[in-house]
Structure 1
């Protein structure tokens, strides 16, 4: 595998939440702390400013996204820019904001929250399904790595602060069944699991904050291969393009030491690798 190359050179303080829209054939992503949603199309770069921090999205139809924000989940029209809140998400808690999220195989949407200053245990993971937001896990510091196995019966999630990723069996309605089990524990080696995505073979591709790479772990949790990036703080991968063999990667400048950008001019860029050894899964549609 070669290194990832530049896809978009707009610098994000906290780039996150890349979503490849499978019918528009278009990538959307976020700069969380700047309250921006970004994209590109044939005409060039696109940029939407929000009134609150936004972090993740799922697709509803050709023109509409479900966007997770600081106070709720929003229906967003990509053509007009119109937005409408469809559900509250810790709207009365000024400490927290949304973070990582992804649609599940049943059309639900899993979304994590966290403290704006990563306050210990301030966050949680919720599932939005058929108009209801239900809390699944509590006392999480930095929820990340929300993704789903291709057979649809396993969910994954991480707490970056603990350095661990869990796997969770989910039932036919998409709800957790039984207790989550450790999938991979990086705490002993000082690696920080951030966003992740499952490919079509069930491998987990995990962004390693501070690690300059996306690490691939098999369904058994064992390391297989890595995609190198030119940014230390990679945050989340997404498979895309017509054959789902390209990988897009967001990155951040937040948390870098003074002068660090002199040694990584691509910090905060969005990256792409077009020679991935495996295909991704098409992102599931959110059903309102």
Structure 2
């Protein structure tokens, strides 16, 4: 079903705020943050957020990570994010169980290898993976011991072990290999049982995979360019999904969807600034 009919050129960054019981999402190309009742306009691309407290988000913009106050829309810079690189913008991001915030970048025109993935933790930003062409599918196992991510053109979702502080250790390995299919992995989220749910660009769907990477089932949506899922609702069993209208003309494109499921999500993790 349609959760919100606002048409986003490039919907992304779906986040269910566990304290507010409210869904937030972005239109990257529209430079907007949305919720069901309101929106906030920015001067540059915005793409992903984590929650800091009931009234505060950490938001990734084209050039920085900022502290954003939902009460009055005020912005406080936290640190630059490729501010000296006019080629790139922010893309996919999510908070990890240890309180860090992962954020990926990519070329504005998807330039080959222009992006990277960073982790912001307790005031410091560190690059952890590069080069990346289209950063996506950043999400985390419930026990905090594994992170997942993809470089979309590779069609492979990778996993990497995390240490006790949430930093990657060792080399990433292939977790889900879609390279023999037409599915292009976009945003993803992991539920409370450790299943990974991946929006697949151009395929009208979010597909679920068990902790061992085997396919479970998929949920279909009217929009073709599904981009980022999130679990929310009173018991975290509603699967939300953003989509993108860019390049398409249909009336269903770019809207934000919701579907009930028998699965239960993790509550999104708090970011420790």
Aligned equivalent of 2:265 = 280
TM-score, normalization by structure 1: 0.94
1:271 matches 2:257: yes
1:133-282 alignment runs, 5 A limit: 133-256=125-248, 260-261=249-250, 265-274=251-260, 276-282=261-267
Cα displacement (A) at 1:130: 1.1
Tell me which stretches of 4 or more aligned residues in structure 1 moved more than 4 Å: none
Aligned equivalent of 1:130 = 122
**Which SS does the other structure have where 1:60 is aligned?**
strand
Distance in 2, Cα, partners of 1:277 & 1:242 = 13
Distance in 1, Cα, partners of 2:218 & 2:69 = 36
5+ residue gaps, structure 1: none
Aligned equivalent of 2:64 = 72
Distance in 1, Cα, partners of 2:218 & 2:21 = 25
Spell out, residue by residue over 1:196-218, the C-alpha distance to the aligned partner (whole angstroms, 9 max, x if none): 00000000000000010000011
Distance in 2, Cα, partners of 1:206 & 1:155 = 14
1:92 matches 2:84: yes
Cα displacement (A) at 1:164: 1.0
Spell out, residue by residue over 1:23-61, the C-alpha distance to the aligned partner (whole angstroms, 9 max, x if none): 000011000011000002xxxx20110011000000000
1:32 matches 2:28: yes
Aligned CA RMSD, in angstroms, stands at 0.7
1:10 matches 2:43: no
Distance in 1, Cα, partners of 2:181 & 2:263 = 27
Distance in 1, Cα, partners of 2:15 & 2:196 = 16
For these two proteins, the number of residue pairs brought into alignment is: 273
5+ residue gaps, structure 2: none
Distance in 2, Cα, partners of 1:277 & 1:254 = 32
Cα displacement (A) at 1:148: 0.3
Cα displacement (A) at 1:255: 3.5
Distance in 2, Cα, partners of 1:51 & 1:13 = 16
